Amino acid sequence: MIARLAGRFTFLRAVFHALPLRSSAILALTGFTTLATAMAGLPALAQETRKRPVEVLASPILGFRVADNETRFGALRFVGGLKLESGDKEFGGFSGIRLLPDRARFVAVTDAGQWLAGTIDRDAAGLPRGLTATMMGPLVPGDASFIERKRNADCEGIDIDGDLAILSYERNDRIETWTLADGVPVAGSARVLADMKRMRLATNKGIEAVVRFPTASPHAGKLLAISEESLNRQRNIRAFMLDGQTTAELAFVKDGDFAITDADFLPNGDLLVLERAYSMRKGQAMRLRLVPAAELAEGSIATGSILLAADKTYWIDNMEGMDVSSDEDGRVHVTLISDDNFSALQRTLLLEFVLE
């Protein structure tokens, strides 16, 4: 009986997290401010992070394709992955991830208003073998009751700028900055950087990815915010370049059933975009699209080219988070994480590739 009740609770929770809710104008702040303004008046770093240890069981994934241990997929080489499980009721729903500069520690965010931090353990060859020092905590702004409503807690993307984390949310569409202490968000340090509700994005298909333009880009200093599947009049996916009080709109090509779930820049200014699709007949699918820097301009429709496409015959799930990082030898690594929707029928996967 207990097992049946637990199963029903897991199912109902997964359904609740998938329900589309109407965005509300809770925040009074509007527009986009500079990072310096956003940092003004932040609490001292000594403030609690409300972190708690969490035990995570990691099972290595040796081959990206389920049927074999093949590692080469076009320009990408699969270097290993992990299937992650935990008994913590808040574990799951991961929608964004960033590795810290040491490439060992990471911070991930969930669409239920939580963060996960830890260290990726690697073997002598650099392959991921497990997670250690894992901890979780709530993304609690000044008012703890604020994130009790799903529309306010639906964090979908993360980027890191020094001691600041930049988070994007949908439903209550906004971009926030958070102070980081020891690599994790400080409770109560949230500041609204941009209120995106004025963009009238589609319900539950709002800002999915947020990333800073690199120094190699002509748009250095700006933010790129990409919606999941809010379409313009040409039926392409809306995106925005944010700079001070200025918002310039561009778009990404809408290709079939795929929606955008994350993005990150390569060192040369090109953009790597993570896309996912799902159907009852075909199951989960994911793609990585490479967009040249020249296609990222006001009024443009970014198209790029597909670097990787995978379906249910590969080790994928609902792939939502992505990070691009460079190691000490200059090799570019791509790290992906999946959102299990808090469902026993889905998995939390951490996958890593080298872009060659």
**219 to 164, 246, 291, 293: CA distances (angstroms):** 20, 13, 15, 10
Element (DSSP H or E) covering residue 106: strand 105-110
Whether the pLDDT of residue 15 is over 50: the answer is: no
Structurally, at CATH architecture level, domain 30-355 sits in 5 Propeller (2.115)
* Rounded mean pLDDT, 231-260: 95
pLDDT single digits (tens) 128-139: 999 999 999 999
pTM: 0.86
How much of the chain exceeds pLDDT 70, in percent? Answer: 84
Q: Which of 309, 324, 315, 307 is nearest to 351 (CA)?
A: 315
Whether the pLDDT of residue 9 is over 90: the answer is: no
User: What whole-number distance in Å separates Cα of residue 220 and Cα of residue 238?
Assistant: 20
Highest mean pLDDT among 17-26, 41-50, 186-195: 186-195
Residues contacting 9, CB < 8 A, separation 6+: none
Whether the pLDDT of residue 18 is over 50: the answer is: no
| Residue 48 pLDDT | 58
Q: Which of 218, 270, 214, 223 is nearest to 244 (CA)?
A: 223
Confidence band, pLDDT 50/70/90 cuts, at residue 145: low
Any idea how long the chain is? 356
3-state DSSP percent of the chain in helix, strand and coil, to 5: 10, 45, 40
- Are the beta carbons of 273 and 253 closer than 8 angstroms? no
pLDDT single digits (tens) 171-223: 999 999 999 999 999 988 999 999 999 899 999 999 999 999 999 899 999 99
| Residue 131 pLDDT | 97
* Rounded mean pLDDT, 301-313: 97
pLDDT single digits (tens) 60-108: 999 999 999 899 999 999 999 999 999 999 999 999 999 999 999 999 9
Confidence band, pLDDT 50/70/90 cuts, at residue 147: low
The upper half-sphere exposure of residue 295, i.e. CA atoms within 13 Å in the direction of its Cβ, equals 16
pLDDT single digits (tens) 317-340: 999 999 999 999 999 999 999 999
The upper half-sphere exposure of residue 75, i.e. CA atoms within 13 Å in the direction of its Cβ, equals 14
Buried b (16+ CB within 10 A) or exposed e, 176-191: bbbbbbebbbbbbbbb
- Are the beta carbons of 349 and 316 closer than 8 angstroms? yes
| Residue 69 pLDDT | 87
* Rounded mean pLDDT, 337-347: 96
More confident residue, 20 or 323: 323
Confidence band, pLDDT 50/70/90 cuts, at residue 263: very high
Whether the pLDDT of residue 259 is over 60: the answer is: yes
Determine the distance from the C-alpha atom of residue 116 to the mean position of all C-alpha atoms in its chain, rounded to a whole number: 12
Give me the chain's average pLDDT, please: 87
